[in-house]
Structure 1
Amino acid sequence: MGYKAKFKVWRGDASGGDLQDFTVEVNEGEVVLDVIHRLQATQAPDMAVRWNCKAGKCGSCSAEINGRPRLMCMTRMSVFAEDETVTVTPMRTFPVIRDLVTDVSYNYEKAREVPAFAPPEGVAPGEYRMQQVDVERSQEFRKCIECFLCQNTCHVVRDHEDNKANFSGPRFLMRIAELDMHPLDAHENRAQEAKTDHGLGFCNITKCCTEVCPEHIKITDNALIPMKERVADHYYDPILRLFKRSKK
């Protein structure tokens, strides 16, 4: 059974905009992205929205739905009451291009700053060998679809624009943690670089990034906290400091 739903969708561009009211048909089993597409087809053909797979795997359709960062294709209309107004706005942390489309180039800039995996010397591709436990340890982080919802909800950059220059955000700190855990990665000092170059110290482990992850990656518990522990060991462990001093 279908029904008429009330929607408020943000319309505008970099110069400004506002919420626009719509009443639109909703059918059983639909998700928010279905409704946005129906609005495009019937009432707002010029509405801009980014999407691709509609299967929760491309990470393109990130938005804020009733104030919560979500994927539109994975947010079922059945979670809302039929008389509830559904508000859809662009991700707040990134500059608006138009309507629900934001400029997420900040994330690609941060991605380029993370040194790539460095293979060990003398080991050719195809000859890498790892224990299964090491494979499983970092496999979780490879489920990331780069929807950037964790980046969007992280208050370090969400509420403090000036932090963007010095903070890579949870998605890329997680990438550094993954590489640091890799037993074959020959790049030295990833944990230290996380502190000095990527702003790990800004993270105060509120777990808001973990809460919005559509892949249910435990970003804080399994990546950021272990990375912080390794940084603390490197810089502040008294026994390790004594050992380093004795080698000089």
Structure 2
Amino acid sequence: MSTYSGHFRVWRGDADGGELKDYEVEVHDGEVVLDIIHRLQATQAGDLAVRWNCKAGKCGSCSAEVNGRPRLMCMTRMSVFSREETVTVTPMRTFPVVRDLVTDVSFNYQKALEVPSFVPPKGVAPGEYRMFQEDVERSQEFRKCIECFLCQDTCHVVRDHEENKKAFAGPRFLMRVAELDMHPLDAAEESGLDRKRSAQEDHGLGYCNITKCCTEVCPEHIKITDNALIPLKERAVDRKYDPLVWLGDKIRRRSGS
């Protein structure tokens, strides 16, 4: 097994500020960036803060930015960089820094709470749900999400505009709205909840300009833009500008129903 001395720049600091610090760390064949961060902790920077758990690309904990690109450190192989290249590791830029590579991602959990959950159909007990296989497969793609929040981090709507965070749920949670809206058993409309309208008015769907940056960084290769956000936009537009829907809403308002 060959080894070499790798050049790394790691962001060190907290909410009050910080800076990039240079390190020389031993690199072995087959290792990933998280291995190097662990070795750095063990040999040179015992107080380096980093969040991780499974080291298998399934928990989403070790999200960071490697050479400016949002990635899972445990799934970023050192072999993609040349031996002479300086590898820069920084915390996710969109979220407040807690310390070093650890960020405060509570924004995402707040947005999750704002998405109304699945509404089961009346008169159908759990275990009696029946769906076509194609509907199962369509929503199954979105359930692969490991909530690493890399899509949230790279979305420029909140990455470059802090003021948008109150009005914009971000791709991960707009994908959740889309999943529920296309679910054939979701009875939200019967309870008075229009998910398409809510996507626009409550979750900021209109802010998304489908640049596909969220799809590009997804470690689960979910087609967030093509299979969730664009179809949701199309359904929302159809709902808003359909003349029959407009007429029905107007009649209901006049009758007070």
Q: With the length of structure 1 as denominator, give the TM-score of the two structures.
A: 0.98
1:234 equivalent in structure 2: 239
2:207 equivalent in structure 1: 202
1:80 equivalent in structure 2: 81
CA contact (8 A) 1:5 1:82 kept: yes
Name the SS of the counterpart of 1:143 in structure 2.
Answer: coil
CA contact (8 A) 1:167 1:200 kept: yes
2:229 equivalent in structure 1: 224
Q: Distance in 2 between matches of 1:243 and 1:52?
A: 52
1:241 CA drift (Å): 2.9
1:133 and 2:149 matched: no
User: Identity, % of aligned pairs?
Assistant: 77
Q: With the length of structure 2 as denominator, give the TM-score of the two structures.
A: 0.94
1:243 CA drift (Å): 5.5
Name the SS of the counterpart of 1:165 in structure 2.
Answer: coil
1:168 equivalent in structure 2: 169
Aligned pairs, number? 248
CA contact (8 A) 1:233 1:240 kept: no
1:94 CA drift (Å): 0.1
Q: Distance in 2 between matches of 1:207 and 1:238?
A: 31
Name the SS of the counterpart of 2:61 in structure 1.
Answer: coil
Tell me, which stretches of 5 or more residues in structure 1 are unaligned? Answer: none
2:45 equivalent in structure 1: 44
Q: Deviations over 1:72-122 (max 9, x none)?
A: 000000000000000000000000000000000000000000111110111
Deviating more after overlay: 231-240 vs 131-140: 231-240
Tell me, which stretches of 5 or more residues in structure 2 are unaligned? Answer: none
The residue type equivalent to 1:156 in the other structure is: V
- Taking the TM superposition and a 5 Å limit, the aligned residue runs for 1:98-117 are 98-117=99-118
1:237 CA drift (Å): 2.6
Q: Following TM superposition, where does structure 1 have runs of at least 4 consecutive aligned residues deviating by more than 2 angstroms? A: 237-248
1:236 CA drift (Å): 1.3
1:61 equivalent in structure 2: 62
1:227 CA drift (Å): 0.4
Q: Deviations over 1:169-214 (max 9, x none)?
A: 0000000000111100111211110001000000010000000000
